[in-house]
Amino acid sequence: MERIAWFFLLQYCCCMAATCVTMAAHVQTNISIDQSALLAFKASITDDPHKLIFTNWSTIVPVCNWVGVTCAARHHRVAVLNLSYFGLTGTIPPELGNLSFLVELRLRNNSFHGTLPQELASLHRLRLISLGYNKFMGTIPSWFGSLSKLQTFNLYGNQFSGSIPATILNLSALQVIDLTYNQLSGNIPREIGNITMLKEIYLDSNKFTEIPNEIGSLDQLEILFVQLNALKGSIPMVVFNMSSLTMLALYGNNLNGSLPDNICQHLPSIQDLTLGYNQFDGPLPSKLWECKELLQLEVPRNSFSGEIPNTFGNLTQIQTIDLGLNYLTGPIPHQIGHLPNLEILNLGGNNFNEVIPSLIFNMSTIAVISLFDNQLSGNLPPNTGLGLPNLQRFYLGGNKLSGAIPKSLSNASNLEVIDLGSNLLFGVIPSTLCTLTKLQLLQLFDNNLTVSTSTPELDVLFCLANLRNLRRLDFSVNPLDANLPISFTNTSLQ
């Protein structure tokens, strides 16, 4: 009570007494500190290709009108410094620590180098620091821990090395941390579990070896990216207990073990699950369908085995299923053909067998069908192509498909890639393929395909070879007609 009253009295007094006004002005409106800090910064810039700073930051113009500078209405002091994409080369001088009203420091996509001066620790109002895509090096300074209001911490795309300092636990307001593309190593500090406001963690392309169990305390975490690192062992089970997670991306590590069958029980919001290029094994979780929001399931190049559970058909939101390069077997469940939003289906490089469910050839949303290198048999259904308006890439090479290539395939007019190589296809190559003007790659090698010698079929290879976007055309190891020009019997353009 007493203090509040005193505060109001002081404010009142400031408006009345001349000395108070002077004091307030001194504290609140003296921009010359900011000006000298920025002039010191200007002096430390060695290259300014667009002459933005060199010409614009001049003492005859008020600091608040300098390019890249924004002052707060309240204090008339520099609140935002945004020199992103200016193409500047230089270092950060200690004077920058004098911008004591700075709230945002944005320097991304320049060529600043050297280390970060400790004086920046006094920028205690700072909420955002973005130094992404520069050439800073050294360890991440521990004094970052004193920027207690920091909400966004972006150091991606530099050459920071060493480990993340444990003092980051002081950053209790932190919501986003992005340290992608550095050379950081060691364990992710356990203290990260104390930053309970964290929503997004991006640590891709470093050399981290372990995710600590403490990460499980981050009950607001939505995004966890630790791709292309050196994580080993199994994923800490707590990660599957973070009900706020929407994206979990651990692609390109040395993680092993199997995925818990009830993986989704405590991940009700997960949308992207990206676990490719690891050493996971065992079956695919049979209850994956419980992840009702799942949009992307990407687990290629692991050692998953067993069959695809039929319940995958209940992943009604899903857009990408990438199970390529595993040891999966059995038939492709026809339920997959019912998925109303599927855009990418990659099951290539497994041991799937039996006939491809015809529903797969009738998915209006699908852009990529990749089933190469399996044991799939049967014919392509007669109307293939009629129900595939968005199909761009069609990889069926390396199977046991027989029968003819349906003429109707040309109705999939967005096709860019057709790979039917190394199958048991026979019959005539349909000339209708010549209408696929977007075609870039056509692989028909190692089949039993022919061209009819009667016109207009004779022209099929000529017209295909003349397709404007075609980069590669391969008919080798087919018993093509002996009268054909030799260049077409083993044609590889480019």
Cα–Cα distance measured from residue 234 to residue 210, given in angstroms and rounded to the nearest whole number: 9
Only segment of 78-86, 391-399, 438-446, 483-491 that touches ligand NAG (CB under 6 A): 78-86
Question: In the window 251-290, what residues touch ligand NAG (CB under 6 A)?
Answer: 256, 266, 289
Closer CB to ligand NAG, 263 or 467, in the complex:
263
Binding mask 306-345 for ligand NAG (x = CB under 6 A): -----x-xx-------------------------------
Beta pairing, strands 89-90 & 45-47 = antiparallel
Per CB under 6 A, does 384 bind ligand NAG?
A: yes
Judge whether 430 and 409 are in contact, CB under 8 Å: yes
Q: Tokens in use for 142?
A: 């521990």
Rounded to a whole number of angstroms, the minimum distance from the CB of residue 192 to ligand NAG is: 10
The candidate with the shortest Cα–Cα distance to 200, out of 233, 246, 159, 164, is 246
Among 170, 253, 296, 392, binds ligand NAG (CB under 6 A): 170
Closer CB to ligand NAG, 393 or 470, in the complex:
393
Q: How many CA atoms are closer than 13 Å to the CA of 147, on its beta-carbon side?
A: 27
DSSP string across 212-232: -GGGGG-TT--EEE--SS--E
Rounded to a whole number of angstroms, the minimum distance from the CB of residue 114 to ligand NAG is: 15
Beta strands per DSSP E along 181-221? 183-187, 200-202, 207-210
Handedness of CA 473, 474, 478, 483 (dihedral sign): positive
Beta pairing, strands 320-322 & 344-346 = parallel
Rounded to a whole number of angstroms, the minimum distance from the CB of residue 367 to ligand NAG is: 17
Alpha helices per DSSP H over 118-211: none
Q: Tokens in use for 107?
A: 């320097």
Among 48, 95, 204, 416, binds ligand NAG (CB under 6 A): 95
- φ/ψ (deg, to 5) at 224: -130, 110
Rounded to a whole number of angstroms, the minimum distance from the CB of residue 217 to ligand NAG is: 5
| SS3 of 237-250 | HHHHHCCCCCEEEC
Among 56, 89, 163, 414, binds ligand NAG (CB under 6 A): 56
Do you know the residue count of the chain? 494
Cα–Cα distance measured from residue 123 to residue 131, given in angstroms and rounded to the nearest whole number: 15
Rounded to a whole number of angstroms, the minimum distance from the CB of residue 322 to ligand NAG is: 22
Query: At a CB cut-off of 8 Å and minimum separation 6, what does 59 contact?
Result: 35, 39
**Total binding residues toward ligand NAG, as defined by CB under 6 A:** 58
Question: In the window 128-167, what residues touch ligand NAG (CB under 6 A)?
Answer: 133, 142-143, 145-146, 148, 157, 167
Q: Residue 65's CB: how many other CB atoms inside 10 A?
A: 11
Per CB under 6 A, does 196 bind ligand NAG?
A: no
Cα–Cα distance measured from residue 431 to residue 424, given in angstroms and rounded to the nearest whole number: 19
Judge whether 179 and 155 are in contact, CB under 8 Å: yes
Query: At a CB cut-off of 8 Å and minimum separation 6, what does 487 contact?
Result: none
Per CB under 6 A, does 124 bind ligand NAG?
A: no
Per CB under 6 A, does 238 bind ligand NAG?
A: yes
Per CB under 6 A, does 435 bind ligand NAG?
A: no
Closer CB to ligand NAG, 241 or 466, in the complex:
241
Judge whether 291 and 321 are in contact, CB under 8 Å: no
The DSSP output letter for 98 is G
Rounded to a whole number of angstroms, the minimum distance from the CB of residue 376 to ligand NAG is: 15
Among 32, 375, 453, 492, binds ligand NAG (CB under 6 A): 32
Among 72, 89, 94, 403, binds ligand NAG (CB under 6 A): 94
Closer CB to ligand NAG, 440 or 447, in the complex:
447
Per CB under 6 A, does 87 bind ligand NAG?
A: no
Among 67, 355, 458, 484, binds ligand NAG (CB under 6 A): 67
Closer CB to ligand NAG, 42 or 106, in the complex:
106
Residue appearing with tokens 């019959």: 427
Residue appearing with tokens 């000006």: 35
Among 163, 217, 303, 379, binds ligand NAG (CB under 6 A): 217
The candidate with the shortest Cα–Cα distance to 177, out of 240, 135, 131, is 131
Rounded to a whole number of angstroms, the minimum distance from the CB of residue 434 to ligand NAG is: 21
Among 358, 390, 413, 489, binds ligand NAG (CB under 6 A): 358
Helix (H, G, I), strand (E, B) or coil at 363: coil
Rounded to a whole number of angstroms, the minimum distance from the CB of residue 287 to ligand NAG is: 8
Per CB under 6 A, does 109 bind ligand NAG?
A: yes
Contact positions toward ligand NAG, by CB under 6 A? 26, 30, 32-33, 36, 55-56, 58, 61, 65, 67, 82, 84-85, 94-95, 97-98, 106, 109, 119, 133, 142-143, 145-146, 148, 157, 167, 169-170, 193-194, 214, 216-217, 232-233, 237-238, 241, 256, 266, 289, 311, 313-314, 358, 361-362, 381, 383-384, 386-387, 426-427, 448
